[in-house]
Chain A
Amino acid sequence: MLILKRMFPVIALVVPLIIVVFVIDQFGTGNMQRVSTEALVRLVFAVGLYMFVGNSGILSFGHMTFCAVAAYASAWQTCCSMMKPTIMSGLPAFVRDNTFPLIPSALTSVGLAGAVALVSGLVLMRLSFFSASISTLALLVIMNVVFANWTTVTMGNSTIVGLPVYVTIWGALAATVVVIVLAYLFQNSRWGLMLRATREEEVAAQASGVSLYWSRFIAFTLSGFVAGLAGVLFAHFMGTVSLSNFFLNHTFIIVAMLVIGGMHSLAGVVVGVALISAVTEVLRQAEAGYSIGGLSFAVPPGTQELVLAVTMLLILIFRKDGIMGGKEFRWPWPARSDRLAIEERKVASVQRSS
């Protein structure tokens, strides 16, 4: 019971996800399954991003870097054995001339992404709040320029086609559940709590003996690994890897999802990604046109982007902490003592604000 209660915020996220996936798997169209799989992969990335952003309060624009590194690393190992020696001639001979099994190559790819996060984190996390945030954008630009021009290894701006497609909706769900649990355990761990303390009040946290550098560095590295996992999943969901998938567009869409859901809680991330993914897809279908009882109607093209932008504005104006307001889903039946505690907290907050 205690475990159930302690893990309730996770269960409240995971169980609905499983139910939704089950329903889609049973009754959904092929398109719905693909869209949901894509959304789950996006969720893995968003949770990875949240592990750093949500806990540290430092917005990162650079996590697509790790996603790209892992996706390319997996492509190098598993893609197109026939074409690889010609189109990616710059790879080291043992990678160029061999094709590696899927699971080991997924693991090494995630490892490489984590290693890149670790090395860049060593430097970037020394920077203060806003500088760290902008420096992650610099990291993304560096990756993009290097990959775009390193044509013998990355095929430049061209698309790498022919990765084995093995990510199903259930595979994506399993990965999502694992990272949600991981993220929850991390945010309640000693390091997670220390990092959250720095988010709320840097000076006070430092005065209490928390190292800004190490707490941020650990979260950054860990989230780099998870972003890498998302990269591998994405590559093997699409079967293609293209640099333009790992740049500003996708970064901003995911940041928008975090903002809308509320980036200070795990529940906010899940709700944000699920909601925006669903709304986007419904509107896309509406743009393509629905037909109901022989009548077909369509909304004008561009509605999807417009609705997304307006939603974000409304959220920013009226609920600046996002839909979830930085809260997790709580155990709905608090014990007496808990209830008292909540009352006390309410009273305290009223006093503070008055």
Chain B
Amino acid sequence: MALASSVAPAQEAEPIKIGFATALSGWLAAYDQEPHQAAILKIEEINKAGGLLGRKIEYQVTDTKTDLTLTANVAASLIDWGANMLVVPPDFDYGAPAAFMAQNANLIAISTGASDPKMGVQGVGSNVFSAHSAGQAAGIVMAEYAHDKMNAKTAFMLEDVSLEAHKSSCAGFVAGWENKGGELVGRDSFRMEDTSIAAQITRIKGLASEPDIIFLCSGLPQGASAVRQVRAAGIDTPILAEAGMSGDYWLGGVPNLKDFYVPTLMSISDDPRPEVNKFIEAYKARWGALPTTEFSILGYCTIEQWAAAVEQAQSVETEVVLAVMNQFEDQPTTCGPTSYSDQIHIQVSRPQLIARVENGSFRSVEIFRNQFVPDLKLLLRSSN
């Protein structure tokens, strides 16, 4: 590679290289493939508009197969290839091995969608960012939304303890809910392997009075199964869930679902924000189909924010770009205002789109921004 670039004509600026360690197969592919395609869309847009700092962006993508060891190896070879920055998988556990490689090679790594704040300074290193909102923020947004907009006073929390991300959302919900002065009348947990949550439902039904809302932190498919069981048991309490439950594809499994809310990044069919709709159109034009998950937009913003930082820094050097990114305060991106600090490398108060299930699909309700900002202690859940 070094050889190839040295024989290139001197006047032609060397391309900027972005390495993608992306899960194109395995379970994580469902969350990684579309953000990756959206990122490529952004790269192509930048290149069409004349490049970044007048240089073309080149990229290389390698499949991590959702395998931890392979993820690290893939990152190492992308670094060998000469990447200026790495885009790593949207999950702390499966992204961290690649991010750690980048950290050790003194490169910036951005995870498109890790919702665990450990994907950052404290958990991996000072060069590592997540373009997503912290899982805690999803819980806080829903707590504040329930309190402010739905007038809820009492809540029951159902926690899926099989993944750290879900536990984070629940931790955020508890903090946000207590901050608003809401009452948590009960909580229970279940695991991904639990096919039946009958015991947990019995506990909800046994409450002295019906709670105003149920907060469910879980993902798919186990979350859908939980919702179905709760509704089948005749509990019609509004359910507020976390981002892991968004997407229309599972709603067919719970017919006539009502009063079900999630915080999302965007709506594919009826987003109120024009810039998001523009992204969706461009995505469709490039890839021949609409994006199926809201996470896709994060890939677009990953490149967008890094390019903005490079633009401001007038350099791709890690230290300079890092300094700019750490100063981001409500930096406009397609995903919404983006802020980082030298301690927090994930979004903690980005406005989120609240969506509600109506007639078998999610419909946008409104954009809602949380007031309560989680501190590092809550973000790292060190109290647990």
**A354 on the B face (CB < 8 A):** no
**B92 on the A face (CB < 8 A):** yes
> Of the candidates A157, A161, A284, which one forms a contact with B164 in the assembled complex, judged by CB atoms under 8 Å apart?
A157
What is the bound-complex CA distance between A38 and B96, given in angstroms? 18
B129 to chain A, nearest CB (A): 15
* Contact status A240-B68, CB under 8 Å: yes
Chain A residues with CB under 8 Å of B209's CB are none
* Contact status A35-B123, CB under 8 Å: no
B6 to chain A, nearest CB (A): 19
* Contact status B384-A157, CB under 8 Å: no
**B104 on the A face (CB < 8 A):** yes
Kindly identify, within residues 52 to 99 of chain B, every residue whose CB is under 8 Å from any CB belonging to chain A.
62-63, 65, 68-70, 72-73, 76-77, 79-80, 92-93, 96-97, 99
* Contact status A30-B92, CB under 8 Å: no
Chain A residues with CB under 8 Å of B97's CB are 159, 161, 238-240
Contacts A156-B164, A157-B164 given; indicate if A242 touches B93 (C-beta within 8 A): yes
**B354 on the A face (CB < 8 A):** no
**A162 on the B face (CB < 8 A):** yes
* Contact status B380-A240, CB under 8 Å: no
Kindly identify, within residues 48 to 71 of chain A, every residue whose CB is under 8 Å from any CB belonging to chain B.
none
* Contact status B73-A157, CB under 8 Å: no
What is the bound-complex CA distance between A162 and B99, given in angstroms? 11
> Of the candidates A31, A86, A87, A152, which one forms a contact with B73 in the assembled complex, judged by CB atoms under 8 Å apart?
A31
Kindly identify, within residues 150 to 180 of chain B, every residue whose CB is under 8 Å from any CB belonging to chain A.
162-164
**B315 on the A face (CB < 8 A):** no
What is the bound-complex CA distance between A242 and B162, given in angstroms? 15
CB closest chain-B residue, reference A301: B25
What is the bound-complex CA distance between A161 and B98, given in angstroms? 11
What is the bound-complex CA distance between A239 and B123, given in angstroms? 12
What is the bound-complex CA distance between A239 and B73, given in angstroms? 12
* Contact status B63-A30, CB under 8 Å: no
**B124 on the A face (CB < 8 A):** yes
Kindly identify, within residues 155 to 179 of chain A, every residue whose CB is under 8 Å from any CB belonging to chain B.
156-159, 161-162, 165
Contacts A238-B97, A242-B93 given; indicate if A157 touches B25 (C-beta within 8 A): no
> Of the candidates B24, B99, B100, B116, which one forms a contact with A301 in the assembled complex, judged by CB atoms under 8 Å apart?
B24
CB closest chain-B residue, reference A241: B68
Contacts A29-B77, A29-B80, A245-B69 given; indicate if A161 touches B62 (C-beta within 8 A): no
* Contact status B93-A159, CB under 8 Å: yes
* Contact status B68-A83, CB under 8 Å: no
**B11 on the A face (CB < 8 A):** no
What is the bound-complex CA distance between A86 and B376, given in angstroms? 11
Kindly identify, within residues 84 to 136 of chain B, every residue whose CB is under 8 Å from any CB belonging to chain A.
92-93, 96-97, 99-101, 104, 116, 118, 122-125
What is the bound-complex CA distance between A159 and B79, given in angstroms? 22
CB closest chain-B residue, reference A302: B25
What is the bound-complex CA distance between A34 and B101, given in angstroms? 12
Chain B residues with CB under 8 Å of A31's CB are 73, 76-77, 80
What is the bound-complex CA distance between A108 and B99, given in angstroms? 29
* Contact status B73-A83, CB under 8 Å: no
Chain B residues with CB under 8 Å of A131's CB are none
> Of the candidates A38, A161, A284, which one forms a contact with B124 in the assembled complex, judged by CB atoms under 8 Å apart?
A161
What is the bound-complex CA distance between A90 and B354, given in angstroms? 38
What is the bound-complex CA distance between A157 and B191, given in angstroms? 13
A157 to chain B, nearest CB (A): 6
What is the bound-complex CA distance between A159 and B116, given in angstroms? 11
B15 to chain A, nearest CB (A): 18
A305 to chain B, nearest CB (A): 9
* Contact status B123-A161, CB under 8 Å: yes
**A328 on the B face (CB < 8 A):** no
* Contact status A152-B93, CB under 8 Å: no
CB closest chain-B residue, reference A157: B164
What is the bound-complex CA distance between A45 and B240, given in angstroms? 47
**A151 on the B face (CB < 8 A):** yes
> Of the candidates A34, A87, A240, A301, which one forms a contact with B63 in the assembled complex, judged by CB atoms under 8 Å apart?
A301
Contacts A158-B118, A287-B63 given; indicate if A244 touches B25 (C-beta within 8 A): no
**A98 on the B face (CB < 8 A):** no
What is the bound-complex CA distance between A159 and B128, given in angstroms? 15
CB closest chain-B residue, reference A287: B63
Give 10 A-B contacts (CB < 8 Å), ordered by A residue. A31-B76, A83-B122, A86-B122, A86-B382, A157-B93, A157-B164, A158-B118, A161-B100, A238-B69, A239-B97
Residues of chain B having any CB pair with chain A under 8 Å: 24-25, 62-63, 65, 68-70, 72-73, 76-77, 79-80, 92-93, 96-97, 99-101, 104, 116, 118, 122-125, 162-164, 380, 382, 384
Other than A29-B80, A244-B93, give 9 A-B pairs with Cβ distance below 8 A: A30-B80, A152-B384, A158-B92, A158-B164, A159-B93, A238-B97, A239-B100, A240-B96, A240-B97
Shortest beta-carbon contacts, A-B, top 3: A31-B77, A86-B382, A30-B80
